[in-house]
Amino acid sequence: MHLLDKRFEFDVKYDVPDRCINCIGSGGNCYGFDPHNVKSCYHCPDGSNALQCSSTRKWHKRRKLIIIGTSVAIAGLLVSIAILCLRYKSPTWLANFGLASKSNQNIEAFLKIHGSLALRRYKLLDVKKMTYNFKVKLGQGGFGAVYKGKLSNDSLVAVKMLSVSKKDGEEFINEVASISRTSHVNVVSLLGFCLEGHKRALIYEFMSNGSLDKFIYRRDENLSPLSWDIIYRIARDIARGLEYLHKGCNTRIFHFDIKPHNILLDKNFCAKISDFGLAKLCPRNESIISLSEARGTMGYVAPEMWSRNLGRVSNKSDVYSYGMMLLEMVGGRKNINGEASHTSEVYFPHWAYNQLELESDLRPDMEMTGKDSEIAKRLAMLVL
């Protein structure tokens, strides 16, 4: 007969006393139980016989305390790190725990090397406060949006919030490195900056009349056109600013993005060069610079930027951009038409040359006095 035959199955009920359950629960063995023996827990881990293994109970209690204590310590450390990061908002702290981007580390390294820069570092909370949480937007550029703000001393500022780029913070470093070295009436002043995680801001002096492009292209019909005296003065201001960048600084600064959008006008229409995101520094005794790629805006970029066969990149590249911008100021329109085909479009300097050769008006769309026409002619000849 097979022992596992189901016909011979039966149930066995066995009651385990509480004393034995406590014994097993404390780590002992309870076989050989004697109901008349109060010390019925045998083979405790320490070799003793007892109703409950006290040494094991103490070890379990000690282990629980160690686990709880370790957990509390780790939690306290993490909370402390979080508080420090939130309080200081420093990429240096974040970098120590692998939370900062490579670009922020590059920027922090640059700021550490140039610790003598007389620029104030603002917290993101301060930037939000001075811009009323980015309420008034002044414009949008290639490197980010610009907002109107006010400092605690009631001074108006323009806050540029840089957009995230893939160039390891190069545009931020270019701006700070370039403008912090300048002090000229025709170069915009940088007052401070903010660097918190992916948020980067540059705080400039406020220029109440905005950028030059809105006066050239006049998309707003209610905007009054600039007089030719003011146009001439703006052209002179920009030339003086460029001369200072190329010859007046201890280190030459090549802007590489001279265009109407980057020329700001104060309340008196004094022109100042801004937006140094593409700028490069060059020793004073050198005028040629090596670039890995062309930089600038189509329509203002010098030919040698695109083809090294036409010459080497130098401060003359800024002069070319300046000339194309002056031609827009004279003609009152963009120097290129994005909707026109390359075969039908006339190169803007050729158009200006033809107008001068034929003694035609450079601005047939507006009435000009003899003095106005003379200023326009002089600027066009300067461009050519």
Residues 212-264 have pLDDT tens digits of 999 999 888 888 889 999 999 999 999 999 999 999 888 899 999 999 999 99
pLDDT of residue 1: 47
What does the alpha-carbon distance between residue 287 and residue 252 come to, in Å, rounded to a whole number? 8
What does the alpha-carbon distance between residue 121 and residue 176 come to, in Å, rounded to a whole number? 12
By annotation, the residues acting in catalysis are: 257
How confident is residue 67, by pLDDT bands cut at 50, 70 and 90?
confident
Q: Three-state SS for 264? A: strand
pLDDT of residue 91: 46
Q: Three-state SS for 51? A: coil
Residue pointed to by tokens 């011979």: 8
pLDDT in tens, 319-329: 999 999 999 99
What does the alpha-carbon distance between residue 360 and residue 214 come to, in Å, rounded to a whole number? 26
Arithmetic mean of pLDDT, 74-78:
78
Distances (CA, A) of 336 to 31, 32, 169, 363, 370: 99, 102, 31, 17, 28
The answer to whether the predicted template modeling score (pTM) of the entire model surpasses 0.75 is: no
Residue 158 has pLDDT above 90, yes or no: yes
Residue 380 has pLDDT above 80, yes or no: yes
pLDDT of residue 112: 61
Domains detected in the chain: 16-86 (no CATH), 102-205 (3.30.200.20), 213-383 (1.10.510.10)
User: In 10 A of CB 6, how many CB atoms?
Assistant: 6
Arithmetic mean of pLDDT, 69-73:
76
| Higher-scoring residue by pLDDT: 52, 314 | 314
| Higher-scoring residue by pLDDT: 52, 317 | 317
Q: Which amino acid is at 356?
A: L
What does the alpha-carbon distance between residue 144 and residue 162 come to, in Å, rounded to a whole number? 5
What does the alpha-carbon distance between residue 331 and residue 351 come to, in Å, rounded to a whole number? 10
pLDDT of residue 381: 94
Q: Three-state SS for 120? A: strand
| Higher-scoring residue by pLDDT: 274, 92 | 274
What does the alpha-carbon distance between residue 159 and residue 157 come to, in Å, rounded to a whole number? 6
What does the alpha-carbon distance between residue 143 and residue 172 come to, in Å, rounded to a whole number? 9
Q: Tell me the sheet residues that pair with 148.
A: 158
Most confidently predicted of 10-19, 63-72, 89-98: 63-72
pLDDT of residue 7: 58
pLDDT of residue 282: 86
pLDDT in tens, 293-304: 888 899 999 999
Residue 27 has pLDDT above 60, yes or no: yes
**189 touches 204 (CB < 8 A):** yes
How confident is residue 99, by pLDDT bands cut at 50, 70 and 90?
very low
pLDDT of residue 175: 83
What does the alpha-carbon distance between residue 171 and residue 44 come to, in Å, rounded to a whole number? 72
Residue 100 has pLDDT above 50, yes or no: no
What are the phi and psi torsion angles at 67 (to 5°)?
Answer: -60, -45
CA 142 to centroid of chain Cα atoms: 12
The pair of structure tokens assigned to 346 is 């006339």
pLDDT of residue 249: 85
Q: How many CA atoms lie within 13 A of 167 on its CB side?
A: 14
Helices and strands: H and E segment counts in the chain: 12, 10
| Higher-scoring residue by pLDDT: 39, 104 | 104
pLDDT of residue 65: 72
Q: Tell me the sheet residues that pair with 192.
A: 120, 203
Q: Which residues are annotated as a binding site for ATP?
A: 160
What are the phi and psi torsion angles at 171 (to 5°)?
Answer: -65, -35
What does the alpha-carbon distance between residue 165 and residue 178 come to, in Å, rounded to a whole number? 19
pLDDT of residue 294: 82
pLDDT of residue 348: 87
CA 322 to centroid of chain Cα atoms: 27
